[in-house]
Chains A and B, each alone.
Chain A
Amino acid sequence: MNSALWKSLMAVLTMLALATVAPAADTGKTNSPGKEEEPEPNFLITPQVRMIQVDGDKHKFREDYWMQDGWTGGIEEFSWHQMFGAKKDTLLEIEARGLYDDDDYMMKLQLVKPDFGFVRTGFTQYRKYFDDTGGYYVPFRQPYFDLQQDVSLLMGNWYVDLGLTIPHWPKITFGFEHQSKEGDKSMLEWGTVAQTISVPATSVTKNIYPNVKSIYESVDIFKADVEYDIGKVHMADQFRFESYDNDTTRADDTGINLTTGVFKPARIREDFSHQQFSNAYFVESHIHDKVYVSAGYLYVDMTGDADFNMATFYGVGTPVAGTDKFWLIRDAKLNQDSHVLNASVMFGPFWGTTLYAGAQVEETYTDAFSNSDHREGVGPSSVVLADTSTDKGRVQENAGIRFTKIPYTVIYGEGRWVRESIDVYRSVIEGDGAAELEQRTDGDIERDEYVAGFNTSPIRRASLTGQYRNSYRRNRYDHEIDFESGYPAFITDQEFQTHEISAKLTVRPHNRVTASLKFQMVDTDIDTDTQTLSAAVPGGNVNAANYRAKIYSANVTFTPINRLYLSGYFSLTDSQTVAFDNYLNAVQPSKNDSYTAMGSAGYAIDDKTEATVEYMYQRVFTFDNNGWSSNGRPLSFTPGTVNVDAGMPLGTDSTRRMFSAGISRRITKNITARLRYGYFQYDEPSGGNVNDYLAHMAMASCAIRF
């Protein structure tokens, strides 16, 4: 929707608000609290004006805080509800927000007449911003690239629901919803940059060039819901038809040679559309105060079409085989249908014991066909016909128990078991009739998960919760047919074993103090078996990865006096993933360490004036220089040279500070004015400080309430 329309809409809302202020105020004066039989109108409008000034990387600021810099203004909050009709029982309620320039708009309207029906409609729109900087590699003549683009994606939806709620009739709802995404988003598929280095004399290539993908996506959803109660049995049916269209264009592999100055982009355009029908039927009943049963059935049928067009040659001269590719999909069809059936039951509590169990069976079949054309250089086209199918059967069972008879304590346990079989078939035939790939894989998947925990509060001012989770997954693959030995059918067995414990202690030593401490620990081991492919790849079992994380969190709130509160929060995450890399130096462990400290305070200066402050400090240290200095690996590194054995530096070493202070003053009974100042600082030395920014925000708003 264009901005002029939005502005008009917000102007109408504002006029509606102003027009309503006077009568609403009068009504408010005549309504004493005791006269509850006269429904009182409730009206709130909060105009806002805001200014943000950013020094440094404004794109990074926008990405971090989802806000546009510069001046903006509009309606921060609008709400109005009114009871009307002969019986004063019909509700009209409107909520809205609209900030011009931020493209941040929301409106919800509902009209509800009890025992008859309702109309609900609304729209939402907001913008997601992206930074346009790629990677950072110090040895290059130009260590980073910045697209100098305002990259953002405008997301929105609008909907309308019409419902009938006539007593003793089925509750019927018809609706339509449109969702959209339009604009650009930054991608992690960074382009290639190369440069010849003198020591040692070689060419070094790193993927650091940023790219964006243009997206146009729309979804139209038609819905029809029916709910009905017969005695203690509640039945519901949800029907959905969804039409989806996605059109994307991206520059996927921008090759830049800093030595020769050659620039070589690749453009890829991809379309996909599908139509999907789904219907879910559900029945549930509290047969007895202590017995609950439910069952459901979901059917989904999807039919899709895809297009694809890629060209890696945009230069002059003659296209070269091997590098200049012209690939396109002439026709691709995808079909998927699913049947999902589930049932569950709960008994209790009997003598403090509640038992529950459930099962879900799923059968999903996907088949796809594509006819594509692969041409390289000036060579002839090669037609490739692909036919793939996946047949998945899945049974999931779960059972649990809760026990509350231990004084001031509840203990619980739950188990979940999944058994899945997957049959995958892939056939790829080239134009000359030769089979390029044929693969048939049978997969057997087992997933077992157990959870046990407790919550206890033996003394009034403290409670303690604890939980242990054990998760085990095993994927076994039997590659019955595998023409293209080596990939993708080379994994034969995978095991994922996870242990997780968490505990939280909450204490209230005084009515004015609450403190919570939480600790979590996760440890996952992944083991993989692969096929023997060649002398170079003997295959066998390997401990593929270990993931471990420890997370410490604490929160304290303190109200020393009625008019002052203080709140503090701290969280530290210490996590690491180490995957098997066969001792290749280019792969370093992935560390994801960070800590966040936040504090806030509110103080009532007088009966009409309140002040609040907030502060956040966040440190992220996940950067790995990957060979540029001693980092625990035995690298032969000499400063000033390039270590060709090293990989791409990744991760972040950054510090973020945010401070805001605000004051609000109740000017009259119905009008409250607010002023707020914000300070935002970001430092990222690991990115050469190109993403750093310092921002100041000033905001004024006025809440008018009647």
Chain B
Amino acid sequence: MKRPGLKAIIAALAVVGVCGVIVSCVTMDHAMVPPPMIPGATYVGMDICAPCHEKQVRDFKLTSHARLQIDNEKVVGQGCEGCHGPGSLHAEAGGGRGKFIVNPSKDPKACYQCHLDKQAQMNLPYHHPVREGRMSCSSCHDPHGADIKKGKSLMIARVNDTCAQCHREQTRPHVYEHEALREGCTICHQVHGSVNQKMLIERNQNLCLKCHAQVGIGGAVGANLYIGDSNHNTRVRQGTCYNAGCHTAIHGSNLNDHLRY
């Protein structure tokens, strides 16, 4: 007897699957929605939120998210509901923590709806542990205030204060500072996630050369790569500036002005 082909098996499974779905559709009404939506909830507008969440509603216009707020009641899903999901069931339940409401600080999917690119970055091999639930977007960003959460809060901060909350070792002052830290940590690190270890923007010598490049003699194949008055041809063949055993004190040094050791 001829054995059924792969196509026939797939077709049979598909028919069974479709029949199953159709049968189950008419026998039950259990709703599933992709996170971070709320089953059965509808948009009600920010005015409904105001009586209980007065400060958040009043201060919303101060946030960077307000720049996307269209001033028209027919456009739904804006303001509070843009991030916290449709609020009808939450309001009907009289509010309550976590009751029919999305909490973006517990699940970043609400943020990913608009910040699509960040979802990919947070899933790259080297990332802050948002996917793992150890951090949330609001660990660094203040969605109800100014964009980047300030180290001292209250919307006053210095460069790198946000990163310094967890990375004091790297951001502390040194006898010999690395001037790159004045530009901010993001000059070298891709803070949401990177394909490179330590979330570096570039993994090879380009990371350093983009600031330290200079004209040397030659200008042809095999020419010399000078940094300052020192020829680095041999050293850069060994690896990058920070991993070839030389400028390892990359965030600053208390011992050496060339950031060695």
Contacts and interface: CB of A to CB of B under 8 A. Distances in A.
B121 to A, nearest CB: 8
Contact of A646 (B24, B124, B153, B237): B237
Nearest to B25: A561
Given A280-B153, A536-B226, A571-B117, A426 B173 contact: no
A388 B177 CA distance: 10
B217 A536 contact: yes
B123 interface: yes
B30 interface: yes
Contact of A334 (B173, B182, B183, B237): B173
A36 B94 contact: yes
A397 interface: no
Given A565-B33, A578-B206, A584-B224, A648 B156 contact: no
B149 to A, nearest CB: 14
A535 interface: yes
Contact of A616 (B70, B123, B261): B123
B254 A308 contact: yes
Contacts of B152: 238, 240, 278, 280, 298, 300
B137 to A, nearest CB: 16
Interface in B12-38: 21, 24-25, 28-34
A126 interface: yes
B175 A544 contact: no
Interface in B68-112: 68-72, 74-75, 94, 97, 112
Interface residues of B, number: 106
Given A329-B254, A516-B113, A583-B223, A192 B195 contact: no
A207 B244 contact: yes
A563 B23 CA distance: 12
Interface in A415-429: 422, 426, 428
A545 B176 contact: no
Nearest to B245: A253
A470 interface: no
Given A340-B156, A340-B158, A648-B238, A579 B210 contact: yes
Given A207-B239, A366-B173, A564-B21, A596 B70 contact: no
Interface string B139-183: 000000000000011111110000000001100111111010011
A455 B68 contact: yes
A555 interface: yes
A219 interface: yes
Nearest to B71: A404
Interface string A432-471: 0000010000000100000001011100100101000000
Contact of B206 (A274, A308, A541, A587): A587
Given A304-B173, A584-B223, A584-B236, A544 B209 contact: yes
B25 A352 contact: no
A542 interface: yes
A582 B224 contact: yes
A370 to B, nearest CB: 5
A652 B206 contact: no
A695 to B, nearest CB: 15
B227 interface: yes
B196 interface: yes
Given A188-B197, A573-B120, A604-B28, A539 B175 contact: no
Nearest to B61: A354
A584 B222 CA distance: 5
Contacts of A567: 34
A590 B123 contact: no
A336 B206 contact: no
A46 interface: no
B11 interface: no
Interface string A640-656: 00001111101110101
Interface stretch (A47-55, A138-146, A313-321, A480-488): A480-488
A268 B261 contact: yes
A528 B245 contact: no
A518 B70 CA distance: 19
Interface string A328-371: 01001010101010101010010010101000101010101110
B123 A618 contact: yes
Contacts of A349: 61, 71
Contacts of B195: 592, 594, 620, 622, 651-652
Given A205-B238, A584-B233, A537 B31 contact: no
B113 A559 contact: no
Given A207-B238, A408-B72, A651-B203, A189 B67 contact: no
B47 interface: no
Contact of A596 (B113, B120, B222, B228): B120
Given A65-B132, A537-B215, A571-B119, 4 more contacts: A205-B238, A400-B67, A544-B213, A551-B117
7 contacts: A128-B129, A340-B156, A346-B62, A410-B71, A457-B70, A582-B223, A586-B233
Interface of B: 21, 24-25, 28-34, 58, 61-62, 66-72, 74-75, 94, 97, 112-114, 116-117, 119-120, 123-125, 129, 132, 134, 152-158, 168-169, 172-177, 179, 182-183, 194-198, 201-207, 209-231, 233, 236-240, 242-245, 248, 254-255, 257-258, 261
Listed from nearest, the 3 A-B pairs whose CB atoms lie closest are A486-B229, A487-B228, A571-B120
